[in-house]
Amino acid sequence: MNILAIESSCDETAAAVVRDAEDSADRILSNIIRSQIHVHAPFGGVVPEIAARNHLDAIDTVIEEAIRAGGLAISEIDVIAATAGPGLIGGLLVGMVSAKTIALMSQKPFMAINHLEGHLLTVRLCYDVEFPYLLLLASGGNFLFAEVMGVGNYRILGQTLDDAAGETFDKVAKMLGLEYPGGPSIEKAARNGDESRFQYTIPMQRRKGCDVSFSGIKTATKLHIVKLKEVTEQDKADIAASFQHVVTRFITIQLRKAYEMTDAHPRNVVIAGGVAANSRLREEVSKFCLERNLAFCAPPIALCSDNAAMIGWAAIERIRAGFSFSELDAKTRPRWSIMEID
């Protein structure tokens, strides 16, 4: 079974051909991603209208490249899948209309996929990770802890009350005059910084549960910058290191709480999403797993950020689990919790 998948929920126009193969090395036939980083960099974040226009310009070429790179004809594609939400409505519409048109013209089944479910299941695209597992999803637009019991069977344990982690990295990078996107820029700057120079308070430690809030850390960072008369390159490196240290420590503390809240107390802990590419976060989560004798797993860095291969794999997982195909009148859903997936 070969899946043509399309992803356009934010600022990457992506298409992939994914195969239902036993060997993980044979599953991704192609995975084409057209980034818009250079377009949004001057603004320090994604501008929805600009993103939608760029998706529209790139979508046909990206789909054609994915099919060609996959070495298949459209007649050899069995199912068309696309991200239906959550995400920016303009981008979602571009991907969904393209996928529905291909499905209609080629008489292929169509599947509308939840973007978050794609992230939740990506690790199983690459590795033999069994259910259940505890998942930390940290990306530019989403942050949550979830207990993944099976395909379509998810329980949110905690989530952000304000910004997502990736969004917070972007905003702090903008404060420091670092390049967009903020995650890689702050990680790079932090390598030359002193993480103990600027002090932070770990938020939400008197609050029950494992929700997170990054607004206090973001405000504290701004105050650190304001107190400096002149911000040198070393100051930037020290602030970046201190900020990254408190964020990763905070996330790991809340992850510990999330694990205690699980019903199954799974033996596997998985991180996913663009922020999961941060080496410091991987290191901290790995330490937690080592302390608890848990297995730690994360997708390859290339599959942490938004891509269409994860959407194609989610479609395969749903087909394997016996879920039905979507109707061609399936709607885009800018807001779509994993708890609402049927």
Query: Does residue 238 sit within a domain?
Result: yes
pLDDT of res. 15: 98
List of the chain residues with pLDDT < 50: none
Whether 246 and 260 map to the same domain: the answer is yes
User: Are 50 and 39 a contacting pair, CB within 8 Å?
Assistant: yes
On whether residue 32 sits in a domain, the answer given is yes
Q: What is the DSSP letter of 212?
A: B
Cα–Cα distance, 10 to 50 (Å, whole number): 11
Helix (H) or strand (E) holding 150: strand 143-150
**Do residues 201 and 282 both lie within one domain?**
yes
Q: Residue 23 has what pLDDT?
A: 95
In this structure, the answer to whether residues 34 and 59 fall within a common structural domain is yes
**Are 175 and 229 part of one and the same domain?**
yes
What pLDDT does 139 receive? 92
298 and 309 fall within a common domain: no
Q: Are residues 137 and 283 in the same domain?
A: yes
User: Which pLDDT belongs to residue 140?
Assistant: 87
Determine, yes or no, domain membership for 296.
yes
Residue 86 belongs to some domain of the structure: yes
**What is the DSSP-derived secondary structure letter of residue 73?**
-
> The domain spanning residue 66 has which CATH number?
3.30.420.40
- Do residue 291 and residue 174 come from a single domain? yes
Helices 182-190, 165-176: crossing angle, 10 deg rounding: 60
Give CA–CA dist 174/185, Å, rounded.
10
CA–CA separation, 9 and 274 (whole Å): 14
Indicate whether 242 and 225 sit together in one domain: yes
Per-residue pLDDT tens digits for 67-104: 999 999 999 999 999 999 999 999 999 999 999 999 99
pLDDT, residue 229, reads: 84
Co-location of 184 and 328 in the same domain: no
Residue 341 confidence (pLDDT): 86
Residue 256 lies inside a defined structural domain of this protein: yes
127 lies in some domain? no
Helix axes 233-261, 215-227, angle to 10 degrees: 160
Question: Is 10 a member of any domain?
Answer: yes
Q: Round to whole Å and give the CA distance between 161 and 207.
A: 13
What is the extent of the structural domain holding 58? 2-121+305-340
Placement of tokens 């320090």 in the chain: 44
Same domain, 309 and 295: no
Residues 20 and 156 in one domain: no
**Domain-located, residue 126:** no
Same domain, 282 and 184: yes
Based on the structure, what is the number of domains in the chain?
Answer: 2
